[in-house]
A = this chain, B = another copy of it.
């Protein structure tokens, strides 16, 4: 059962990140194939790093057709439903936030299912959630999401931590992922909406290389 649940949440994250990747690629005026490629990279990049670190090879993102199909469907949606999506205020960031939540959970969950320790589970949750978006931004020479001032990586960490906590406290297996992902997505969206940010370390005055 856990396996099915895992795949479902992982595909939801794949869909959300694929949309954000496709939108970002469109904005940079890439051609149709470029949009599909960046969409796939954004959707599967985080999961590939997770699977490499866990030794779960080949990574599901490149070996399981459902991930490829989900990415391509998401890219097609992003292109065809552009009018609808345009009603969102910042569509890329919105779908990025959704993916962040789902992948924080699946990164942690897969590590736990493979008997890894708490630290691996939480850090892989963070890395899986953040990885795809960072690759998208590096490839498209956009300012990386992690440099933006609203709470981002902390939301992913929180989502992963809740999933791990639920696992050890034996919360209901079928509900924990949804709860953890919701907290992460809600925190990120609220941070964007109300410009929540953590304190900034006061910068030095001197220029420094």
Q: Which residues of A contact B (CB under 8 A)?
A: 23, 26-35, 37-38, 48, 52-55, 57-59, 62-65, 68, 79, 82, 86, 90-93, 111, 116-117, 119-120, 123-124, 126-127, 134, 138-141, 143-144, 146-147, 149, 151-154, 157, 197-201, 203-204, 206, 208-209
The quantity of this chain's copies bound in the complex is 3
Which residues from chain B contact A33 at a C-beta distance below 8 Å?
A: 151, 153-154, 157, 198
CB atoms of B146 and A144 under 8 A apart: no
Among B29, B59, B91, B206, the residue within 8 A (CB) of A208 is B91
Q: A31-B198, A33-B154, A141-B144 are in contact. Are A57 and B53 (CB under 8 A)?
A: yes
Specify the main secondary structure of chain A where it touches its partner. Answer: helix
Give the CA-CA distance A113 to B22 in the complex, in Å.
Answer: 33
Which residues from chain B contact A37 at a C-beta distance below 8 Å?
A: 126, 146, 153
Q: A139-B134, A209-B92 are in contact. Are A201 and B35 (CB under 8 A)?
A: yes
